[in-house]
Amino acid sequence: MAEQKVIAVVGATGAQGGGLARAILNDRQGEFAVRAITRDVDSDKARELAALGAEVVAADVDDAQSLEAALRGAHGAYFVTFFWAHFSPDKEQAQVRAMARAAKAAGVKHAIWSTLEDTRQWVPLSDSRMPTLMGRYKVPHFDAKGESNAFFTEEGVPTTFLLTSFYWDNLIQFGMGPKRDADGRLALNLPMGSAKLAGIAAEDIGRCAYGIFRKGGPAIGRTVGIAGDHLTGAEMAAALASALGETVRYNAVPFDVYRGLGFPGAEDLGNMFQFYAEFEDYFCGARDLAVSRSLNPELQSFATWLARNASRIPAA
Ligand SMILES: NC(=O)c1ccc[n+]([C@@H]2O[C@H](COP(=O)([O-])OP(=O)(O)OC[C@H]3O[C@@H](n4cnc5c(N)ncnc54)[C@H](OP(=O)(O)O)[C@@H]3O)[C@@H](O)[C@H]2O)c1
């Protein structure tokens, strides 16, 4: 077998990077090997990856030298940021700039940058349908990523821009699962009106990224959007009902009510859902299911994901 080409994975102990690392490691005869980047090589998750056959290296994206060293000799690199760890678009952008610079310095031949739309191209700051946040954003955790695409282009890094979707795992880990009403009935509370939400199993993001690395050259310079299903809130509630074996009602929360919920990031997420809902055709159109499945033949639909994960949803 020819020597395997190394893919360095930022966030390898997390959701997106973990999916990619496992996809590569599961394909033992494949053309790639994994270099898992973590701040703590002794964590349980880092040890698990090492046991599966990954090379595990320590680096912090806030430390440019460590990052560049971790990328040296790698053919490819997967870049993801950690907005919800700090809630700062400035910090997120500084980290993306550091990743683009390190990729250039290390001579990475194919980078995948896990990005999202700069929503201000659809909803300029002057548009009062949703509030402007932090002085210059509509959806900070989207806009900062979209604006950062330019760092890769400016550095001349051969990059695929990966547009991800809403993780269904948010129903388990992010408190977005159905909740019981006062009368004990389950309701899925989502500010999506009657629009379709492009969603995906977090694990499938990494599997699609693996498909992009396998594609190689033809994917460079392209923007690729991925999703596992496009479903309305009512359709998601019906699928949840069938998986949980009890009635689940869909409650279309008004955008303003969601923005006012008061938890950290509520305004950012309220604006995000309004963007999803009001630009549904664009947003779902940019995340084609057939393209996603061609990259990842095991792509899960919402029903498939629920069959495996419904019991992990807290209200269940
Ligand atoms: N939730 C959604 O629906 C959704 C949808 C689309 C996009 N996103 C975006 O996805 C991103 C998060 O990705 P994820 O869900 O894969 O994250 P995650 O599961 O929280 O994992 C992030 C990993 O990154 C590593 N990390 C954190 N800070 C680091 C640093 N300074 N240097 C090096 N590594 C660091 C951590 O590993 P160690 O502790 O091992 O270092 C952690 O395991 C966010 O930017 C979010 O906006 C989320």
Segment 85-103 mean pLDDT: 98
Mutation pick for ligand 1 pocket among 82, 92, 168, 287 (CB with most ligand atoms within 8 Å): 82
**What does the pLDDT look like over 1-50, one tens digit per residue?**
679 999 999 999 999 999 999 999 999 999 999 999 999 999 999 999 99
CB proximity list for 164: less than 8 A, separation 6 or greater: 16, 114, 115, 116, 200, 205, 226
Instruction: Please determine, for residue 316, whether its predicted confidence score (pLDDT) is greater than 90.
Output: no
**Does the structure show a pLDDT above 80 at 205?**
yes
Token digits of residue 302:
């919402």
Task: Look up residue 7 and give its two tokens.
Answer: 């893919």
- Using an 8 Å Cβ cutoff, are 55 and 34 in contact? yes
Q: For all residues of the chain together, what is the average pLDDT?
A: 97
First CA to last CA distance, the chain: 47
User: Which pLDDT belongs to residue 265?
Assistant: 97
Ligand 1 atom 20, closest CA: 14
The pLDDT of residue 270 is: 98
Q: Which residues of 226-251 are buried (b: 16+ CB within 10 A; e: fewer)?
A: bbbbbbbbeebbbbbbebbeeebbbe
- Say how far apart CA 234 and CA 37 lie, in whole Å: 40
Residue nearest to atom 18 of ligand 1 (CA): 14
Over residues 98-126, the pLDDT tens digits come to: 999 999 999 999 999 999 999 999 999 99
Distant-in-sequence, close-in-space partners of 172: CB < 8 Å, separation ≥ 6: 309, 312, 313, 314
Query: CA 91, CA 188: separation in Å to the nearest integer?
Result: 33
pLDDT tens by residue, 119-170: 999 999 999 999 999 999 999 999 999 999 999 999 999 999 999 999 999 9
Percentage of the chain exceeding pLDDT 70: 99
**Region 190-211: what's the mean pLDDT?**
98
